[in-house]
Amino acid sequence: MSKNLLKNPHGDDVFNNWELTQNGGDQWHVEPTPDDAVATYFCTSFQPCLKKQVIDLVQNGYNASYLDSAPEVTVKDWYSTRPDCGGVYRLTVSLLNASRGVIATFKPADVTVPQGTNWTAVTHKFTGYGPGLRFISFEHGGQDSKYWKGWFGVRVTGSFATIPPKP
């Protein structure tokens, strides 16, 4: 079983392990959720809020020869909106080499999310990208669609990035 390489994917530890790359409006916020499976989620505000985590794969125990074999990399993220306000969701995941140059990127078009949207998953598998993988950059976030003061924007949680263990 592959472990989640992203740390603090639900915001249980507030923003530890995340770099807030855009922190607009009333800035990022963490809220509790009524869901028993997930205690908290990240909330965006009325201006763009993006956060990023760069995963060092060698530090996580993957050796260079295995990473050069281009193992499958799976990423997944969950987003939703409040019942009273929609938002815009953004995701960019890049595979990086030792110099942090981009090998491959998954960047779907921004998603305009209607108000009241339940948790929705976006998943991507990187395959056939060639040798050199050493880091994964995972950045996501968004904003609300009504420019309301507070945290009415897109919610994100449950993010993960996995690579199978070396056989």
Mean pLDDT, each 10-residue run in order, the chain (167 residues): 92 96 97 79 97 97 96 97 96 98 98 95 98 98 97 96 89
- For domain 19-155, the question of CATH label 2.60.120.260 is answered with yes
Q: In this predicted structure, what is the pLDDT of residue 124?
A: 98
What are the boundaries of each domain within the chain? 19-155
User: What integer pLDDT is reported at residue 38 of this predicted model?
Assistant: 72
* pTM assigned to the model: 0.95
Cβ-count burial 37-63 (b if 16+ within 10 Å, e if not): ebebbbbbbbebbbbbbebebeeeebe
Report the C-alpha gap between 1 and 26 in whole angstroms: 39
